[in-house]
């Protein structure tokens, strides 16, 4: 069995199918870079493997991606175990991100959600909370985008049914955002 070759071939096909959204990826990267460099806070969240992508993007903003630059404000909503368990216990898991964003988010901040399905209640709720609070919303999704596709200001949908391939492309997207941010920081 040529498992790696099969996965590589599948990823190549997914990337080809996603390629028409390349300009949208670049536009979103510019929006995020302008916001965080301009002093706004980036909030990220996701479930499961998408939670790892959300952590990765936020930590690259606060830390660094490749080059030295000033730290930028970013908070991953799926990392505070105390908040997650308190909110889940008192309000239900569907509110774990929304409740935190209500406390921390400000108008003109940015929310990026990562979801392979676009249908998780906690993702849909945080998108609604963000929009009600005047935040810019970005959904990085998979499959057909689910309900999140139409509930975000900007949506990127990786056209695949494979969560693994979706998350691999999500990694490329978040790295594109990081590269745009660092290029702008070094130019300014």
Residue 117 lies in a domain: yes
Chain segment 151-169, per-residue pLDDT in tens: 999 999 999 999 999 999 9
Residue 142: give its domain's CATH number. Answer: 3.40.50.10490
In this predicted structure, the answer to whether residue 188 has a pLDDT above a threshold of 70 is no
CB 167 within 8 A of CB 53: yes
Chain segment 78-112, per-residue pLDDT in tens: 999 999 999 999 999 999 999 999 999 999 999 99
Here the tokens at position 132 are 């009600």
Residue 1 lies in a domain: no
Nearest to 109 by CA among 182, 43, 27, 31: 43
Residue 55 lies in a domain: yes
Residue 124: which domain range?
8-187
Identify the burial level of 20 via C-beta atoms within 10 angstroms of its C-beta, where 0-12 means exposed, 13-18 middle and 19 or more buried.
exposed
Chain segment 126-135, per-residue pLDDT in tens: 999 999 999 9
pLDDT value of residue 187: 75
CB 109 within 8 A of CB 129: no
Residue 3 lies in a domain: no
Distance between CA atoms of residues 18 and 156, nearest Å: 9
Count of domains in the chain? 1
Chain segment 9-68, per-residue pLDDT in tens: 999 999 999 999 999 999 999 999 999 999 999 999 999 999 999 999 999 999 999 989
In this predicted structure, the answer to whether residue 72 has a pLDDT above a threshold of 90 is yes
Average pLDDT rounded to a whole number, residues 109-127: 98
Residue 106 lies in a domain: yes
Distance between CA atoms of residues 31 and 42, nearest Å: 11
Three-state secondary structure call for residue 1: coil
Three-state secondary structure call for residue 133: coil
């Amino acid at each position: 069995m040529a498992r790696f070759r099969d996965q590589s071939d599948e990823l190549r096909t997914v990337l080809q199918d996603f390629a028409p959204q390349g300009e949208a990826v670049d536009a979103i990267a510019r929006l995020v870079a302008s916001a965080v460099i301009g002093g706004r806070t980036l909030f990220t969240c996701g479930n499961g493997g998408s939670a790892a992508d959300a952590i990765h993007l936020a930590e690259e903003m606060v830390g660094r991606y490749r080059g030295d630059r000033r730290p930028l404000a970013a908070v991953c909503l799926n990392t505070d175990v105390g908040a997650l368990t308190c909110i889940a216990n008192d309000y239900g898991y569907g509110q774990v991100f929304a409740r935190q964003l209500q406390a921390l988010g400000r108008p003109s901040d940015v929310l990026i959600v990562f979801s392979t399905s676009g249908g998780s209640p906690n993702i849909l709720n945080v998108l609604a909370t963000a929009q009600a609070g005047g935040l810019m919303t970005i959904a990085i999704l998979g499959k057909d985008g689910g309900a999140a596709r139409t509930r975000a200001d900007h949506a990127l949908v990786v056209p695949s049914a494979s969560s693994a391939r979706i998350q691999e492309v999500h990694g490329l997207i978040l790295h594109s955002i990081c590269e745009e941010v660092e290029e702008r920081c070094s130019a300014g």
